[in-house]
Amino acid sequence: MQCMSSAEVNERRRGFDSEGALRVFLLADHFGHDEGRVHGGTTYFLNAIPAMAQSGLEVSVCFMHARHPRADLLEAAGLPVHFLGCTKWDPRALWRFEPIARAFRPHVLHLHSFKSHFAGRRWARRNGTPVVVHVHDQHLLPLPLRMLLRAQAGTTDALVGVTRAATEFASWNYGIDLARCHTVLHGLKQELFLNASPECGADVRAEFGIAADAPVLGVVARLAESKGHDQLLRAMPEILRRIPDAVLMVVGDGPTAPGLRSLAARLGIGRHVLFTGQRSDISAINQALDVSVMPSTCSEAFGLTALEAMLSGRPVVAFDSGGVRDLIEDGTTGFLVERFDLATLARRVRELLIDADRRSAIGAAARARARTFTLERHVAQMTEIFRAVVHGSGAVREA
C-alpha cells in the first residue's frame, strides 16, 4: 500500500488548523489484567483519558484485548471505547483496529504497549498520521522484538517516557534518538486521596481486626514476582524483633499469592501478615497504614502506588530502582534502599514506625511533592507534544 503524499499530509494538518479540535486515537494492548485485575496502565487510562477529553482534545480509545470491567468508568464519562476481543497471541489484533482508526480520522496516534507500538506505527506510516509512542515500563525486549521495533524508529515522531529513567531506557530499547524523546510524569485525580479521612482508615483496620494503635506497614501491588513481596516478608522478622505488634497488609492479588502465604507461614510471621486481596478503596487502605513500602525488584518505570501513598501523606520506603527516584527524595519525602538490602529496608521501616514525629514530617513532605503531579500538567505537556508532531515537517517520513 502506498504512503500518503506530502500534499495529502499537509491537507490533513490544515484540516486540524481549521477544525480546532485535535483528534487523538489512543491504541493499547489491554486495559488491565485478566479477571478484572488492574495495573499501573489501568490507573493511567482512568485518570488521563477523561482529563484529555475534558481539556478539549477529541479522544477515541481502542484496546486489542477483551473488555475489562473498569472500562465502564470511561464510557460513563461519554468516551468511545472499543475492545477488539483478541487474545494475547492473536495476530488479528495487528489489523482489527484499522477500520476504527480510519473512521475516526485521527490527527495523531497515541500508542501504548508492544503490539500497539508495532501495529499502530505500521498503519500510521501508510496514512501519514503522526505517532507518539508512550512507554510505561522498563522491560528489556527480546532481541528479535527489539530489532523489529527499532526498524520502525523512523516512523516515530515522538517517544514519551513516564520518568527520566524510563525515557532513557526506552530511547535505547526502541532505537529512537533522545532528541525525539520526552519525559512526562504521570498525573492523578488527587481529591480522592487528599480528602480521605482518618475515619476511613479506622474502618479498614476494624474490618481486618487491627488495633487502632497497632503499627501498620503495607504494600499495594499486584502479587507478581517482580513486585518483591517476598523481600518484604523476609524483612518482617527483623521489623518484628523491635516492634513485636507490627502488622503488614499485603494489598492486591496475583499469581504469587499462594507462594507468599506459604512463605509467611514458614517464616513464622503468618499472624502478623494480612492478605487483603484486590481492593478498590486504596485511598482508605492508605489511611490505615503508617508506612507504605514499595519493594519492587524490577526497574519500576514510575510507581503509581507510591504516588498514591504520598498523596495520602504516608512516607514510602522503596527499593531504589528505575523511575521511583523522580518521586522520592531520599530522607526528605521517603527512603530509597538498595535492592535486596533487607537489613536497611527493615531499619528504615522501623525508624518510621517508631518515630511518629519523623513519620509525620516526611509524610507531609511526601504529600507536598505528590501534589505537583497534577493531571492538568500532564495533559498540557502531552497536548504540547501532540501539537508539535502534527505541525512538524510536511514531508512524509521514510520507512
Classify each residue of 344-381 as buried b or exposed e, where b means 16 or more C-beta atoms within 10 Å of its C-beta. ebbbbbbbbbeeeeebeebbebbbebbeebbbeebbeb
- Same structural domain for residues 174 and 34? yes
Does residue 99 form part of some domain? yes
Whether residues 166 and 302 fall in one domain: no
Residue 399 lies in a domain: no
Co-location of 200 and 162 in the same domain: no
Strand order in the sheet with 273-277: 273-277, 247-251, 216-220, 291-294, 316-319, 334-337
Number of domains in the chain: 2
**Does 338 map to a domain?**
yes
Distances from the Cα of 299 to the Cα of 136, 166, 341, angstroms: 11, 9, 15
Q: Are residue 204 and residue 134 in the same domain, yes or no?
A: no
In angstroms, the CA 103 to CA 211 distance is: 57
- State how far the Cα of 145 lies from the Cα of 114, in Å rounded to an integer: 9
Question: Could you tell me if residue 346 is inside a domain?
Answer: yes
Same domain, 96 and 198: no
Per-residue pLDDT of the chain (399 residues), as tens digits, is 334 444 454 455 544 544 568 999 999 998 877 766 777 788 899 999 999 999 999 999 999 998 888 888 888 888 889 999 998 888 898 899 999 999 999 999 999 988 999 999 999 999 999 999 999 988 888 999 899 889 999 999 999 999 999 999 999 999 999 999 999 999 999 999 999 999 999 999 999 999 999 999 999 999 999 999 999 999 999 999 999 999 999 999 999 999 999 999 999 999 999 999 999 899 999 999 999 999 999 878 888 999 999 999 999 999 998 889 999 999 999 999 999 999 999 999 999 999 999 999 999 999 999 999 999 999 999 999 999 999 984 332 332
Both 63 and 91 in one domain: the answer is yes
- What does the pLDDT read at residue 389? 96
In this structure, is residue 396 part of a structural domain?
no
Residue 1 lies in a domain: no
Contact 328, 390 (CB under 8 A): no
What values do phi and psi take at 367, rounded to 5? -65, -45
Q: Determine, yes or no, domain membership for 226.
A: yes
Residues 246 and 258 in one domain: yes
Same domain, 264 and 157: no
Q: CB under 8 Å to 67, separation ≥6 — which residues?
A: 31, 83, 85
Same domain, 130 and 22: yes
Residue 356 maps to which CATH number? 3.40.50.2000
302: three-class secondary structure by DSSP: coil
Question: Which residue reads 485478566 in cell numbers?
Answer: 34
What's residue 11's pLDDT? Answer: 53
- Residues 310, 337, single domain; the answer is yes
Long-range contacts formed by 265-270: CB under 8 A, 24+ apart: 267/233, 267/234, 267/236, 267/237, 268/237, 269/233, 269/236, 269/237, 269/240
Tell me: do 267 and 156 sit in the same domain.
no
Q: Are residues 335 and 381 located together in one domain of the fold?
A: no
Residue 70 lies in a domain: yes
Which H or E run includes 159? strand 158-161
Task: List the domain range (segments joined by +) for residue 359.
Answer: 191-370
**How many other CB atoms sit within 10 Å of the CB of residue 203?**
14
